[in-house]
Structure 1
Amino acid sequence: MIIRHRAAAAALLAAVGLAAPAAMAHPHVWIEMRSDVVFNEQGQVSALNLMWTFDDAYAQMALDGLDTNGDGVYSQSELDPLTRENIASLKDYEFFTVLRFNGQKQPIGEVTEFGQIWSNDKLQLHFQVPLKTPVDPTKGEFVAKVYDPDFFIAIDYVKDDPVTVIGAMPKSCQLVVKPVPTDAEVEQTRAMLSTKGPDWKPENDEDFGALFAQPVTIQCKVA
């Protein structure tokens, strides 16, 4: 519905629309996010788990008509069509997730682990974005960014315990959640962009949205 209203506004996931034009440079949907960096038994980064909590206005729109038995509770079976539509739509946007290793964007695999719940009057979508090929963080820096490049959807980490580690992270490594850019840093970035020509692109084939996204990194000491 996030995706479909972007299409209704340009026409959210089962009634919204993920492909808003760049001119719509302010958010219409707000998401609070938590994530887990997942390590396999070999100490490689293998996936990123994401938990999104949607704003109340979007949730009300997305849930409209889904309580088919009228009991005031949204069961898994009632939420399932919305969940599958969201995941299918998000696939076209690579789940707003950019994973890099040594500066190079890493291809992601098929998202097969996902679900959605309605709890404490909040709609939450969770899913795992796997790396097609796991990476060894002792060989270089791993960086994850989750953001909508069109700014139609604001995706921001929660303040408390926004990111955790699951699995066998090497002892020489640490999780670093870099802070949200300050207003001064945002203005500095905007000023820099204003000096660039229309054909300028950020380094490493990043888009403009990446300049404002909050990075999560795995940094390891070199033996």
Structure 2
Amino acid sequence: MRQTKTILLLATALPLVGVSAPVEAHPHVFAEARLDVVLTADHKAVKSLRHLWRFDELFSSTVLMEFDKNSDRKLDDSELKEVADTIFSSLAEYDYFQLVTVNGKEIRMNAPPHLVADITDNQLVVLFESEPPAPIALSGKIDFGVYDPTFYTAIDFSDDANMSVEGLPPNCTRTVIRPNPDEAISENQKMLTDAFFNDPTGNDLSKIFATKLELTCQS
């Protein structure tokens, strides 16, 4: 079986294009992202996270060629569903690239019920929404990040406005944190071994490089 590391792929192998080399510690796939933090009706807790990822044209064209079963140079509904289902199963092991912490404690989000995939302006677009096990009360410090622990896919928020939360109560502030890579490496030098850079799939230290939305709420 031919194997590749594509999106979402990460360290798992999918029957897509035909690459079997080990993952290297730098991105091969790029996506512009948007994250919307959805609050409960009373604006006292986080209800869900809505994600939109728009992938680079090179990767998108690879997906198009691989999943265009009828060779009509486009993806119909059934082909797009196959793309979405492939991504869905591939990302499950990686918590769908989500990182959520409450006062430093990590919260694992529930798997989204499904993903939606589309091709818009020659780019693959993926959308999904996930919920925490219970609404996250707006208290203390809450961080939201999106990152690929294998470094294979670069998820980029090009504008701070692309990490959004509507209806944030006045006792809360919103900050977008963009770690400086050199500073992150320096501060975590002891943990970032050669083994990590050669094969980061066995750990999640790449989260130190993730852009995060931080909410700080006073009681």
Equivalences for residues 8-19 of structure 1 within 5 A: 11=13, 15=16
Structure-2 residue corresponding to 1:177 = 176
Who is 1:47 aligned against? 48
The 2-side partners of 1:129 and 1:172 are apart by: 25
- Find out whether 1:35 has 2:32 as its counterpart: no
Q: Is the 8 A contact 1:2 1:16 kept in 2?
A: no
User: Quick one: percent identity of the two aligned structures?
Assistant: 29
Q: Deviations over 1:119-174 (max 9, x none)?
A: 1111110111211111111x2211011111221111111226211224x4323223
Asked if structure 2 preserves the Cα contact closer than 8 Å seen for 1:147 and 1:210, the reply is yes
Residue aligning to 1:64 = 65
Counterpart of 2:199 in structure 1 is none
What is the 5 A alignment of 1:63-212? 63-137=64-138, 139-159=139-159, 161-166=161-166, 168-179=167-178, 181-182=179-180, 184-189=182-187, 191=189, 193=191, 207-212=204-209
Q: 2:214 aligns with which of 194, 214, 217?
A: 217
Alpha-carbon separation, structure 2, partners of 1:183 and 1:66: 36
Q: For structure 2, which runs of at least 5 residues remain unmatched after alignment?
A: 1-5, 196-202
Letter in 1 for 2:94: Y
SS at match of 1:117: strand
Amino acid at match of 2:170: K
Checking the alignment, whether the CA contact within 8 Å between 1:56 and 1:122 is kept in structure 2 is yes
Q: Aligned partners of 1:65, 1:127: CA distance in 2, in Å?
A: 22
Residue 25 of structure 1 aligns to a residue in which SS?
A: coil
Contact 1:5 1:16 (8 Å CA) reproduced: no
Q: Residues of 1 paired with 2:10 and 2:214: CA distance? A: 32
Structure 1 residue 68: Cα displacement:
4.4
Contact 1:38 1:45 in 2 (8 A): yes
Answer yes or no: is the 8 Å Cα contact 1:76–1:116 preserved in 2. Answer: no
| Deviation, structure 1 residue 114 | 2.7
Query: Contact 1:109 / 1:129 at 8 angstroms: preserved in 2?
Result: yes
- Secondary structure of 2:183's counterpart equals helix
How many residues in Structure 1 have an aligned counterpart in Structure 2? Answer: 203
Alpha-carbon RMSD across the aligned residues, in angstroms, is: 2.9
Q: Which amino acid aligns with 2:187?
A: T
Whether the 8 Å contact between 1:2 and 1:15 is mirrored in structure 2 is no
Q: Kindly indicate whether the alpha-carbon contact (under 8 Å) linking 1:6 and 1:16 is maintained by their aligned counterparts in 2.
A: no
Shift of 1:177: 1.1
Distance 1:186 1:142, change over 3 A: closer
Query: Which residue identity lines up with residue 150 of structure 1 in the other structure?
Result: T
- Please, what TM-score do these two structures have when normalized by structure 2? 0.79
Query: Separation in 2 of the partners of 1:2 and 1:81?
Result: 14
Distance change in 2, residues 1:175/1:5 (3 Å): closer
Alpha-carbon contact 2:38-2:47 (below 8 Å) kept = yes
Other-structure match for 1:203: none
- What is the Cα deviation at residue 2 of structure 1? 2.2
Counterpart-to-counterpart distance in 2, 1:173 and 1:95: 27
**1:184 and 1:27, CA in 2 relative to 1: closer, same or farther beyond 3 A?**
closer
